[in-house]
Structure 1
Amino acid sequence: MLNTLLTNLPLLIQDTAAIEGDMGMLWMLLSGILVFFMQAGFTLVEAGMTRPKNAINIAMKNLLDISVGSITYWLVGYSLMYGDTSNGYFFWGGLFQGEGADLFFQTMFAATAATIVSGAIAGRTKFETYAIFTLV
Structure 2
Amino acid sequence: MLPFQSNVERDTKKNFKTKTPGSGLSASHSQARGSSGLGITGAMTTALQSTDALFAELEHKLDPSNREIDAKFLRFQTAAGNFVAIRQEVKTLKKSVAQQLGVQDQELRGQDNQQAEELNELRRQLSEKES
Q: Same fold (TM over 0.5)?
A: no
Larger Cα-atom Rg: 2
Asked which structure has the greater RCO (Cα within 8 Å, sep 6+), the reply is 1
Q: If the TM-score is normalised by the length of the shorter chain, which range does it land in?
A: 0.3 to 0.5
TM-score w.r.t. length of structure 2: 0.35
